[in-house]
Amino acid sequence: MGWSELLQQTREPVPAGPIPDGRRDESLTRIAGAQRRHGASEAAILAALRIENRERCQPPLPDADVRKIARSVARYAPEPESMQLLTRNGSNGAHAEGPPADRGLRFYGPRELAGLTLEVPDWLVRGILAVQSITEIDGKIKAAGKTTFLLAMVRALLDGQPFLGQPTRRCTVIYITEQQRQPFMDALRRAGLADRDESQLAILFREQLGGQKWPGIVRAIQAKASAEGRSLIVVDTIGKLAGIVEENDAGTWSAAMAPLQDLAASNVAVAIGRHDRKSGGEVGESGRGSSQASGDVDIILALRRPEGNQPSNRRVIESLSRYPDTPEKVVVELTADGYNLLGDSEAVATSDARLVLLSALGSEFRQHDSGASQADLVELGAACLPKVRRWAILEALEALVAEGRVKVTGKAHSRTNPLRYWPSSGVVETQTSGVPTTHFEGGQDLTPPGHPCDGCGVQFLTAETLASHQKLGQCPAQAGQLMARILQTTGGEEVVA
């Protein structure tokens, strides 16, 4: 097929929906031709074709055939018209003056645009990072952990592993950092990336940029990404690397973001780190300097420490996004294996309450052969650091009873025989978050030697109880002692939910 014939065919978009056997080669060629006509590189075409092939072709073509189509179409020069979309004047991206007819503006109809784009975003990390989009990561300087978060995400993408419970697409990365070599190497070691080579993760330091202008730097990065098929560009942080001096000037930020928008349009995903202002603020308004930068991105993730005396490895992520797939607010926890998604704030509070309840009930029952009322358990939650709220205690208690983990005796609203809660026997658990996996059975204490709970005298522990000493700031035996003091002072009156 000649280029002129292919050009003619690509003006008609491929119909939406599944692509049946017998139409796969033709359809993918038309999709590739449409992209090449508008200047897409071979790597960008291949990335798009792989998604179309995987999600629409029935059955999918072998990857070798998809690569062949991309390579064949990429041999042709882009249509000249596509190179005249906008005539720019200067490095700040301002449009040239003159009548519209002189600007070479290119207009699209919805049907044509549908043939040039995907039905769903090309997610690198679903809800967080997409091709042809910019994601902004905001956080306090040296407190929120922006670089730690970005490197954990990079590691997941290099290995094709889930990130925050979301699927990822394996890809290679270019990372531009404001840090010096030694501290950044330390960060790479902590992220488990010290053994990766340049073909996977290419790093550019600010000291190497010299006196080059920001638009030229971004164009050089774009050329490298296109030549090597890299899908993610990380800019950490945007203000320092783009050389922004007048932080509150909207025009300065617009000039800095315009090259990154062009970069994203070349079929890569862009992630930028940005420092929060000292006063903080709402998501989309907390970033240092003008809010213009946040207006030029597609997804904003605000990385913050949770309120109260929470574990130091927890972060709350709040978001604003053009995409419905992005969760509004979640709590995450950094472990040796990366970030784990704990859920939304309510789910995390309930999970913490479960740990407190199982620890306290188990310890009190084993030591004093007694149960506890709702009032006892609510007071215990209030005594914890950080505090476990009443609603979370009651909600977790109801769930544990329904699961058979906790049994209840007595009568509701009775002063003489109030409801009392007891641990069910025979519970065997495997802990999956933050504590070594340990099994407890047969009434034998199998706490690992050297663990804070070792030797405390508590037997028949569950792994969830083993974890709870971190929440209570003490071992389960000490939790039981606290429970006993509460029982002595409250008289075990019931709290009515």
Question: Distance (Å, rounded) from C-alpha 33 to C-alpha 84?
Answer: 18
Name residue, tokens 């990390």.
125
Q: Which residues of the chain have pLDDT under 50?
A: 1, 3, 7, 10, 81-102, 426-481, 483-497
What is the rounded CA–CA span in Å between residue 494 and residue 497?
A: 9
Do 230 and 150 touch, CB atoms closer than 8 A? no
Q: State the pLDDT at residue 218.
A: 93
Q: What's the pLDDT at 201? A: 96
Q: Crossing angle for the helix pair 24-37 and 42-56, nearest 10 degrees? A: 150
* Overall pTM surpassing 0.75 (yes/no): no
Residue 106: what pLDDT? 77
* Predicted confidence (pLDDT) per residue in 140-150, tens digit: 877 778 899 99
Domains belonging to the chain, first-starting first, are: 3-116 (no CATH), 123-343 (3.40.50.300), 347-490 (1.10.10.10)
User: Tokens 């249509």 appear where?
Assistant: 79
> How many residues does this entry show for the chain?
497
pLDDT value, residue 349: 72
Strand partners, 422: 407
pLDDT of residue 399: 84
CB-based contact 364:477 (threshold 8 Å): no
Task: Give the Cα separation of 48 and 118 in Å (integer).
Answer: 8
Using CA atoms, how far apart are residues 260 and 50, in angstroms rounded to an integer?
25
- Three-state secondary structure of the chain: CCHHHHHHHHCCCCCCCCEECCCHHHHHHHHHHHHHHCCCCHHHHHHHHHHHHHHHEECCCCHHHHHHHHHHHHCCCCCHHHHHCCCEECCCCEECCCCHHHCCCCCCCHHHHHHHCCCCCCEEECCCEECCCEEEEEECCCCCCHHHHHHHHHHHHHHCCCECCECECCCCEEEEECCCHHHHHHHHHHCCCCCCCCCCEEEEEHHHCCCCCHHHHHHHHHHHHHHHCCCEEEEECHHHHCCCCCCCCHHHHHHHHHHHHHHHHCCCEEEEEEEECCCCCCCCCCECCCCHHHHCCCEEEEEECCCCCCCCCEEEEEEEECCCCCCCEEEEEEECCEEEEEECHHHHHHHHHHHHHHHHHHHHHHHHCCCECHHHHHHHHHHCCCCCCHHHHHHHHHHHHHHCCEEEECECCCCCCECEEEECCCCCCCCCCCCCCCCCCCCCCCCCCCCCCCCCCCCCCCHHHHHHHHHHCCCHHHHHHHHHHHHHHHCCCCCCC
